[in-house]
Structure 1
Amino acid sequence: MKSHCQVAIIGGGVVGASVLYHLTKFGWTDVVMLERKVLTAGSTWHAAAGFHAFNGDPNVVRLQSYTISLYKEIEEEGDQNVGLHVPGGITMAATPERWEFLRTEWSRHRFMGLDTELITPSEIKTMCPLVDVSEVKGGLWAPNEGHLDPYGCTQAYARAARRRGAEIYQHTRVEALEPRADGSWTVITDQGVIHAEHVVNAAGLWAREVGAMAGVKLPLIPMEHHYLVTEDIPELVTLGREIPVMVDLDGEIYMRQEHHGVLFGVYEKRSTPWSLDGTPWEYGETDLLPPRLERIEDELMRGFERFPSVGNAGIKRVVNGPFTFTPDGNPLVGPVRGLRNYWAACGCMAGFSQGGGVGLALAQWMIEGEPQDNVFAMDVARFPDLTQTYVAAKAREFYEHRFYLARPNEQWPAGRPLKTTPLYDLQEQANAVFGVNYGLETPMWFALAGQPAHETPTFRRSNAFETVAAECRAIREQVGLFDASGYAKYEISGPGAELWLDRLFASRLPGVGRARLAPLLSPSGRLKGDLTILRLAAQRFLVTGSGYLQEWHLRWFEDHLPVDGSVRIDNRSESLAMLAIAGPNAKALVGEVFGNAAIAAAQRFMSVARIDAGFAPAWIARLSLTGELGYEIYVENHYLRSVYQRLLAAGGTFGLRQYGVWALLSTRLEKGFGIWSREFGPEYTPAMADLERFIAFDKGDFIGREAVLAQRGVTPVHRLITFEIDAVDADASGFEPVWVGDAVAGYTTSGGYGHTTGKSLAMGYVKSEYLVGANAFEIQILGERRPARILTAPAYDPDGARMRG
């Protein structure tokens, strides 16, 4: 074993092999792989090894499409047959709602670059004679779906990497990891010690153990998973070709051909976590778990009804093997906050759909400083610190909902409530319907007294529609109160705070007692955040943003901290609460409850001041996401309840009504205000997202300055646009295609109903070439094209007079 390397990859499954391959492909050849047994000895060897590009996140779709396109390349580079089969795939629907879902997915595939087609039951029967289509409404045909040999694929990655200089040490178990002062690692194995500049945890079933060696608790657990392999089926013996990979959404099963039989897999409703106390080091290579066919009996029976020939075939083999699952089913990828040069590449349940993309993204991240795609859906920083009990509950929920038809307004129940504010019981009494933001229970809307506090999951306008409309009217005509405690809040202080923030953010810093919207950029000039900076004192700032980005932003902040200790960062997201008050009566309400001094302190738009909020010391800011005159009140969490109750007690005189997230999203759409993970993200530049006006190009050096200067004046490929849509009973929800004739001109990022303006609205990105001249736009909603018009000004209060007045 060599004594030093640039990167040590721990784990010899398909994901680790992909990382090894991509690092060498991009020029880092001093890399090693450490595998405790042999390649594929974890969950890789017994995987069904199917692949597809479908995903609800278009960024993940790109990575999965890349993975599929890579297989021919690694087969040639590694001189290793990967057992590639590409018979195509069919996803079937047997209910009207699931068929509507497939039609919607097909429409979204147009801008995602996926070559798919909607097909009829008779076409499904022709392509796969095994299926009973008597109840099937239709299917989605994807010609690039298939499966391969997991061993051959992993070996191909490894052999190609070896040819570029990588070394692979099998039968080498990592026993300990010790960080060094310079950010590198001492990797202790049972075969010797190696000094690595970077460590990648690609340990699969053992990722928790390898994480613990570095003091990291990774949110993943193994789950048992069954599939059957049948004896020969007569129809397949005589067919003379391979049938497509089949997915039955209603039966919640998948099937592909295996020689003249089939591999038949299920995601059962009585899922079984495995080895919660830790994966045994001796497990693997040829080990499987005892079959638990009684647990999957119901799913098998439904599957045999859909595929009668499979039910009549003999069973050759039953496979029950563990795979790792995270709370949302996506992998854990990227640098781990608080550890220098320690990287995650684990939790990859769909390794043969995503493994190539994971390797690509991680190699780019390590070598270039950031991945070229937005990989937040896979980023290890998307989760807070979670207990194993919670992770197991959410992983089971995801597993059991693998083929579930999730609606845009749906909230899943497992692991709830995890976190609540001091207002939770009062909001319950007010009939709040809760959603979850980074584990925190947050009101989405408030049902009327006597009505059930429940929202029916749907792709169309829900039972919340009229009540949310009333909440919006209160904001626009009287005054609304919103619990914004879920926002992220970072206090930045110290003698170096001003200089550090000025270097970190692309905007100018606000003066003392002022606030400013502030883009955060990466070195490539792409967006890293859209935050608000409130300057409390000369060297004391409060930075606010999206609550679910706490780990993500803190990782960025901490990675750029000065080494002299002149800047301190305190995450105040849970200790500092925030209430938003918005509407034409907001000023009167604040004056009534907190006194005229509070009004005078925050008289100007974007001003910030220290006030006494009754008995509570507080900060007040004249800000509003709704587009109305508004205030944000920041108080320590233990004061929140008393301030909230004072506002409610006085609010009746002013028509006060509580509102939730749905009303906030409706009002911000009417103003054309973008939000992170929708209109803003790492795949966009300020010029694309209409944020250049917030950038101080001439203020001096800041991260990303050279890149955005080069972009300045260059017409971006896409631009952010707001549309009004002729919708009927359903609105855009994001990632619907925008059409001009037969051409896909762009895609939506979010949408909803503007209750004040009476318009169905959507924001999205359109190719700049279609913004010239008179083009007739259409946006596809639930598979149906609806006429749409570009709004050149916000749908509500276009000059912003109400917000600033």
Structure 2
Amino acid sequence: MKSHVRVAVIGGGVVGCSILYHLTKLGWSDVALIERKELTSGSSWHAAGGFHALNSDPGIAKLQSYTIELYREIEALSEHSVGIHMTGGINIAATDARWEFLRADHARHRVLGLETHLLTPSEIRDICPLIDVTDVRGALFDSHEGHVDPSGATYAYAKAAKKAGADIYRHTRVMDLKPTGRGTWRVITDQGEIEAEHVVNAAGLWAREMGAMVGVQLPLIPMEHHYLITEDIPEIVAAARELPLILDLDAEIYMRQERGGMLVGVYEKDAKPWAVNGTPWDYGETELLPPQLDRLADALIKGYERFPAVAEAGIRRIINGPFTFSPDGNPLIGPVPGVPNYWSACGVMAGFAQGGGVGLSIAQWIIDGEPSEDIFAMDVARFGPYATPGYTTEKAREFYANRFLLAYPNEYWPAGRDMQHDALFDSLKARNAVFGVSYGLEIPLYFAAEGEEAVETPSLRRSNAFPNVAREVKAVQEGVGILDASSFAKYEVSGPNAAAALDRLIANRLPGTGRIRLAPLLAPSGRLMGDLTVMRLAEDRFFLFGSGYLQAWHGRWFDTHLKAEGVTIRNRTQEYQGIHLAGPNARTLLERLTSCDVSDKALPFMGVREMEVGLAPAMVARLSLTGELTYEIYMPAQCLRAAYLKAIALGQDLGVVDFGFHALASMRLEKSYGIWSREFSRDYTPGMAGLGRFIDFSKDFIGKDAALAERDTPADRTLVTLAVEATDADASGYEPVWHDGNYVGFVTSGGYGHRVGTSIVMAYIDRAVADAPNGFAVSILGEKRPAQIAREALYDPASVRPRS
């Protein structure tokens, strides 16, 4: 065993071997993989081996496409067969809702770079004679689907990595991980010790144990998963070609051909976690769990109605093996917050669809400092301390059981809910609030009318929330509304060197004392890393505000780029909670809550002051995401409920109402205000996103060289707003945008603008057509709807109202 390596990858499944290969592909040969048993031990060896490029997240879809294309490469390099079968795949719809969903997905696939086709029932029958299409509406066909031999693919990655100089230590168990104090790790094994500059946890079923060695609690839980292999089926034996992968979510079944029979899998409703308290170290390298067909009976009966020939076949083998799941079913990859040079590559449930892309991303991140794609949906930093083992188990069970259900854009599943409440939760619930959840915290989406059940019905079309949101927006426009804004992230940065450290971190000028600035964060590549609001309360004291669900993500960036002597960083999100007062009567209501002068002169637009509000010490900032006069008020959490109730009582004659995040989303679209994870992400640059005006090129900051290059050579795409002639549905994201029948871009956000009375999208389109006067269309539920570019904000384009 070597004494030192640049990277030690722990775990010899498909993900670990892919990471090892990609490290060598990018030029690092002094790397090693450590596996406690044989390669593929754990979950990889008993996987079904299916792959597909389809995914609702564009970053993940790109990585899945990359994985599929990679198989031929590693097969050639390793001279080891991966057993690839490029059969294509069909996703069947047997209900109107599913068919509408597939048609909408088909339109989005143009954005994702995927070529899919919609099939009629007779076309389905032609390519898969096993299906009874009596009640089938149609299907989506993707030629870029198939399956590989799990062991063959894993060994191909490993052999290609070894040929490039990597070392693989099998039958070597990692016993402990210790920091050296030099920024490296002591990897202590039962076969010796090795020092590693980076450690990658790709330990699969044992990932939790590897995390515990460094004090990290990864939100993962193994789940039992069954599939069975049938005896030969005459229709398959007689078929002239291999059958495609079959996904029938309405029948709750997936299948692929396995020699002359079928491999049949289900995600049963009675989901069963395995090894909840930890994976046994002596779990065998090729050990399966006892099958429990009684748990599968209901799902199999339902599926067999659609595939009668499969129902008549005998069962050759039953596999019940554990796979690790995160709370939302996506992998946990990237640098683990708070643990330098320790990386997660765990929970990759679809290892043979995503393993290549995960390996590439981790290798790029380690070597280049960032991955090539925005993969926040996989980032280990998307979860925070709320993701406890109990929460993880509940959510993973829910995800598993709902794997085949339609997932609506306005749907929040119930598991793990009601675990975090802010100071206003009970008061808002009493006022008929309908809640969603963000970073484990319940947040108000809208307020149901009196006598109406406080539940939003999930839908691809405008939901029952629509008239209530319209009422809230109208009240904000005409009077004053109160938003519970406690979920926003708040970071206090202070100390004698705070200004100097922040000045390098953010691309804009620092605000003066008592002032506010919007501040993009850039990576060295020039891509966006954040969009923060910076408030300066004193020469050496700042507050940074951002999206609440990015707290761990922001914290990781601050740890790397903001920590310095004389700088103190504190996450004050839970300590400081707040409300927004928005509308033409907002100043009048604030005057009733404070004895301080809040006139336009004393507290101008983009100004911030500390003052007493409702008898509590507070920070009051004047800025607007609503497009109306707005005051953001933050105070100690224990004071907020009393201040809120006082605002409600004192605002009755001013038309005070509660409003939620649905109304805020509507109003910010009317103002063409982008938000993180939609218009702003690591996929985009300031020039693309229209944030170039917030960059101060006269100073030094992270990413300046790349930003200067983009300023001189604008990107091919630009962010625009379009008004859409829609009927009863709005875009929700990643729908294609067309110009004169040609695909020119994609939607980032969509919704209805209640103040202007039209459906609105924000979208990235080709810069070459951005000045075209007309000819635009946006796909909504698969139908092209006419659209017109808005050359200025659709509501109050001069921004008179927030400055009034």
TM-score range, shorter chain: over 0.9
CA displacement at 1:595 relative to structure 2: 2.9
The question of whether the paired residues in 2 share the 8 Å contact of 1:43 and 1:284 is answered with no
Distance 1:227 1:742 in 2: 44
Look up the equivalent residue of 1:552 and give its one-letter code.
W
The question of whether the paired residues in 1 share the 8 Å contact of 2:502 and 2:562 is answered with no
Look up the equivalent residue of 1:762 and give its one-letter code.
V
Distance 1:24 1:474 in 2: 60
Q: Residues 701-780 of structure 1 correspond to what in structure 2 (within 5 A)?
A: 701-780=700-779
- Aligned partner of 2:149 in structure 1 is 149
Look up the equivalent residue of 1:440 and give its one-letter code.
L
Look up the equivalent residue of 2:725 and give its one-letter code.
D
Look up the equivalent residue of 2:324 and give its one-letter code.
T
The question of whether the paired residues in 1 share the 8 Å contact of 2:523 and 2:702 is answered with yes
- Aligned partner of 1:77 in structure 2 is 77
CA displacement at 1:282 relative to structure 2: 1.4
- Aligned partner of 2:561 in structure 1 is 560
Look up the equivalent residue of 2:199 and give its one-letter code.
V
Distance 2:603 2:161 in 1: 63
Q: Deviations over 1:34-85 (max 9, x none)?
A: 0000000010000001000111111111111101110000000111000000
CA displacement at 1:600 relative to structure 2: 6.5
CA displacement at 1:603 relative to structure 2: 2.4
CA displacement at 1:742 relative to structure 2: 3.6
Distance 1:256 1:418 in 2: 40
Aligned residue for 1:684, secondary structure, equals: coil
CA displacement at 1:562 relative to structure 2: 4.3
Distance 2:507 2:384 in 1: 27
Q: Residues 145-294 of structure 1 correspond to what in structure 2 (within 5 A)?
A: 145-294=145-294
CA displacement at 1:741 relative to structure 2: 3.4
**Structure 1 residues 609 and 601 mapped into 2: Cα distance closer, same or farther (>3 Å)?**
farther
Unpaired runs of 5+ residues, structure 1, are none
Aligned residue for 1:489, secondary structure, equals: strand
Distance 1:308 1:562 in 2: 64
- Aligned partner of 2:432 in structure 1 is 431
The question of whether the paired residues in 1 share the 8 Å contact of 2:603 and 2:609 is answered with no
- Aligned partner of 2:640 in structure 1 is 640
Distance 1:176 1:576 in 2: 39
CA displacement at 1:696 relative to structure 2: 0.4
Look up the equivalent residue of 2:472 and give its one-letter code.
E
- Aligned partner of 2:21 in structure 1 is 21
Distance 1:626 1:739 in 2: 29
- Aligned partner of 1:128 in structure 2 is 128
- Aligned partner of 1:36 in structure 2 is 36
- Aligned partner of 1:624 in structure 2 is 624
Q: Deviations over 1:518-565 (max 9, x none)?
A: 1011001110001100001110000000000000001000112344x3
- Aligned partner of 1:418 in structure 2 is 419
Task: Please tell me whether residue 378 in structure 1 is matched to residue 378 in structure 2.
Answer: yes
Answer with 772-781 or 27-36: which moved more.
Answer: 772-781
Distance 2:475 2:160 in 1: 63
Distance 2:23 2:371 in 1: 13
Look up the equivalent residue of 1:160 and give its one-letter code.
A
- Aligned partner of 1:697 in structure 2 is 697
Q: Residues 464-503 of structure 1 correspond to what in structure 2 (within 5 A)?
A: 464-503=465-504
Distance 1:94 1:383 in 2: 35
The question of whether the paired residues in 2 share the 8 Å contact of 1:598 and 1:620 is answered with no
Look up the equivalent residue of 2:205 and give its one-letter code.
L
Task: Please tell me whether residue 671 in structure 1 is matched to residue 671 in structure 2.
Answer: yes
CA displacement at 1:601 relative to structure 2: 7.8
The question of whether the paired residues in 2 share the 8 Å contact of 1:231 and 1:315 is answered with yes
The question of whether the paired residues in 2 share the 8 Å contact of 1:434 and 1:442 is answered with yes
Aligned residue for 1:618, secondary structure, equals: strand
- Aligned partner of 2:299 in structure 1 is 299
Q: Deviations over 1:137-185 (max 9, x none)?
A: 0000000100000000000000000001001000000000001212100
Distance 1:402 1:142 in 2: 20
Q: Deviations over 1:695-751 (max 9, x none)?
A: 0011x2110011101111322111000000000000111110001234210000011
Distance 2:94 2:311 in 1: 19
Distance 1:657 1:316 in 2: 64
Q: Deviations over 1:391-450 (max 9, x none)?
A: 000011111111210111111100111210121111111000000011100110001111
**Structure 1 residues 249 and 226 mapped into 2: Cα distance closer, same or farther (>3 Å)?**
same
Task: Please tell me whether residue 804 in structure 1 is matched to residue 803 in structure 2.
Answer: yes
The question of whether the paired residues in 2 share the 8 Å contact of 1:602 and 1:620 is answered with no
CA displacement at 1:775 relative to structure 2: 4.5
Task: Please tell me whether residue 548 in structure 1 is matched to residue 549 in structure 2.
Answer: yes
Distance 1:131 1:719 in 2: 45
Q: Residues 426-465 of structure 1 correspond to what in structure 2 (within 5 A)?
A: 426-465=427-466
Distance 1:483 1:771 in 2: 37
Distance 1:7 1:340 in 2: 13
Aligned residue for 1:410, secondary structure, equals: coil
Distance 1:404 1:602 in 2: 54
Unpaired runs of 5+ residues, structure 2, are none
- Aligned partner of 1:605 in structure 2 is 605
The question of whether the paired residues in 2 share the 8 Å contact of 1:222 and 1:275 is answered with yes
Look up the equivalent residue of 2:247 and give its one-letter code.
V
The question of whether the paired residues in 1 share the 8 Å contact of 2:596 and 2:612 is answered with no
The question of whether the paired residues in 2 share the 8 Å contact of 1:591 and 1:598 is answered with yes
Q: Which TM-score applies when normalising by structure 1? A: 0.99
Aligned residue for 1:801, secondary structure, equals: coil
- Aligned partner of 1:595 in structure 2 is 595
CA displacement at 1:772 relative to structure 2: 4.0
Distance 1:602 1:784 in 2: 51
CA displacement at 1:240 relative to structure 2: 2.4
- Aligned partner of 2:512 in structure 1 is 511
Distance 2:308 2:684 in 1: 49
Distance 1:383 1:744 in 2: 35
- Aligned partner of 1:685 in structure 2 is 685
Aligned residue for 1:804, secondary structure, equals: coil
Distance 2:613 2:598 in 1: 8
The question of whether the paired residues in 2 share the 8 Å contact of 1:735 and 1:747 is answered with yes
Distance 1:166 1:590 in 2: 65
The question of whether the paired residues in 1 share the 8 Å contact of 2:10 and 2:203 is answered with yes
The question of whether the paired residues in 2 share the 8 Å contact of 1:601 and 1:609 is answered with no
- Aligned partner of 1:579 in structure 2 is 579
The question of whether the paired residues in 2 share the 8 Å contact of 1:494 and 1:568 is answered with yes
CA displacement at 1:593 relative to structure 2: 1.8
Distance 2:352 2:212 in 1: 26
Look up the equivalent residue of 2:514 and give its one-letter code.
G
Look up the equivalent residue of 2:527 and give its one-letter code.
R
Aligned residue for 1:597, secondary structure, equals: coil
Answer with 470-479 or 278-287: which moved more.
Answer: 278-287
Distance 1:489 1:449 in 2: 34
The question of whether the paired residues in 2 share the 8 Å contact of 1:94 and 1:135 is answered with yes
Aligned residue for 1:688, secondary structure, equals: helix
The question of whether the paired residues in 2 share the 8 Å contact of 1:590 and 1:599 is answered with no
- Aligned partner of 1:348 in structure 2 is 348
CA displacement at 1:110 relative to structure 2: 0.8
Look up the equivalent residue of 2:797 and give its one-letter code.
P
Structure 1 vs Structure 2 CA RMSD: 0.9
Look up the equivalent residue of 1:415 and give its one-letter code.
G
Count how many residue pairs are aligned between Structure 1 and Structure 2: 803
- Percent identity of paired positions between Structure 1 and Structure 2: 59
